[in-house]
Structure 1
Amino acid sequence: MGAGRNTSLRRLARRVWPGANPLRRRTDWFEPVALLVLMLAAVMVVTLALMTSQSVLRDRLAAVQDEEASRHPVVATVVAEIRDQGSANRSLAVRWGQPPDEHFAVVQVPAYVRAEKTVPVWLDRDGQVTSAPSTRAEATQAAGTLGAAVLLGGLMALSIGYGLARWVVVRGRLSAWGAEWEWVEPRWRNHMS
């Protein structure tokens, strides 16, 4: 059992690494070296994707904390609905507070949200209407999306680069075989006659 496994490993090693085969060509060294470089580059791409994702997540979470600290919600009463034709959002005229500190504003809500009597309105430190703060889930999603884009883009670039390099080597190998055949074929034909 151990001997069969040993020969299988040797065969695999010979297939991947050309070794001292007297029939090997100079281009036979390309494939194992290119695979080694490709594996190292893939590890670097994965590391870069993780570092990018972590950096973006850290920045986004800091922005989320800042937004949460600088914004606060108030409950506003809907005064009127302003019709927007063909828009994904609806405009609502709202008011909050009591006279003499009563405030009015027009806010956008998604068209699929039902019109209620009250809606939450987010205010910044100056009391101006602003958007709701970002959530931790949105920060995580943005970091994951960017990390995945870096990973997929890097691996795609590596695959294309490897494929192009291999195409060049195979094309050169076929050209060399053609040149050798042009030299050998007349002699072989005369030898066979």
Structure 2
Amino acid sequence: MGADRNRDGLRRLLRRVFPGANPLRRRTDYFEPIALVFAVLSAVAAIVLATVVAQGELRGRLAQVEREHATRQQVVATVVAEVGSTTAQRSVAVRWGEPPDERFAVVELPTRAPVAGTVPVWLDQGGQPTSPPMTSAQATQAAGLAGAAVLIGSALTVVVLVTIARLWVTRRRLAAWAAEWAIVGPQWRRHAS
């Protein structure tokens, strides 16, 4: 009993999606199955494209992580004085190294960081302060965002295209019904009188 019900439901779904040989069907009735096939193919293509983009972005970002970790080194610097501050950042003068190789620089610290004591400072190959190297987690997050952007952009594009096509088909369908009613309507009025 349940199998028959499932089979009937599947048949109804197939008849609804693919109009078949229904004598009342119009040419515009083929739009729904074509739009369904287009949406499914677009979804598959978007998933593949998002995967390729995310993997490419991840490879590029992980290579950047390796380059940055190879070319930057972290030193512990002593805070000498506070130079200025804003709501999010605070400029402090720091020093590191021993005389005669002692170095001074002004670096930006978060406002919650302590004013006195030591702070980690990242240096480039020339010994100048630079930003910390990217982490693997940041690279993974960037790749995920790139893949998600492709998926969202593809979904929005498909939705807009299908909506525009449905509006066009609906207008064509209503125009055809109006034209047919213009022919049939007077005949019905004569029979009703």
Relative to the length of structure 2, the TM-score reads: 0.96
Please list the CA deviations of residues 56-108 of structure 1 after superposition, one character each: whole Å capped at 9, or x if unmatched.
01100000011001111111111001123x44211110011111111000011
User: Which stretch of structure 1 is more off in the superposition, 164-173 or 105-114?
Assistant: 105-114
Runs of 4+ off more than 3 Å:
none
Matched, 1:64 2:103: no
The alignment partner of 1:42 has SS state of: helix
Aligned residues: 192
Taking the aligned partners of 2:35 and 2:104, their CA distance within structure 1 comes to 67
Q: Report the counterpart of residue 151 of structure 1 in structure 2.
A: 151
**AA aligned opposite 1:109:** L
Q: List alignment gaps of at least 5 residues for structure 1.
A: none
Please list the CA deviations of residues 133-160 of structure 1 after superposition, one character each: whole Å capped at 9, or x if unmatched.
0111111111111111110111011011
Q: Report the counterpart of residue 36 of structure 1 in structure 2.
A: 37
Q: Report the counterpart of residue 73 of structure 1 in structure 2.
A: 74
**AA aligned opposite 1:158:** V
Q: Report the counterpart of residue 185 of structure 2 in structure 1.
A: 185
Taking the aligned partners of 1:165 and 1:109, their CA distance within structure 2 comes to 54
Taking the aligned partners of 2:62 and 2:24, their CA distance within structure 1 comes to 60
Q: Report the counterpart of residue 110 of structure 2 in structure 1.
A: 110
Q: Quote the sequence identity (%).
A: 56
Taking the aligned partners of 2:116 and 2:20, their CA distance within structure 1 comes to 77
Matched, 1:82 2:92: no
1:160-175 aligned within 5 A:
160-175=160-175
Q: Report the counterpart of residue 49 of structure 2 in structure 1.
A: 48
Please list the CA deviations of residues 7-49 of structure 1 after superposition, one character each: whole Å capped at 9, or x if unmatched.
2211111011100000000010111011101110111011111
Please list the CA deviations of residues 113-147 of structure 1 after superposition, one character each: whole Å capped at 9, or x if unmatched.
23241011111122111111011111111111111
Relative to the length of structure 1, the TM-score reads: 0.96
Taking the aligned partners of 1:147 and 1:115, their CA distance within structure 2 comes to 41
Taking the aligned partners of 1:174 and 1:56, their CA distance within structure 2 comes to 48
Q: List alignment gaps of at least 5 residues for structure 2.
A: none
| RMSD of aligned alpha carbons | 1.1
Paired residues of 2:91 and 2:109 also in contact (CA < 8 A): yes
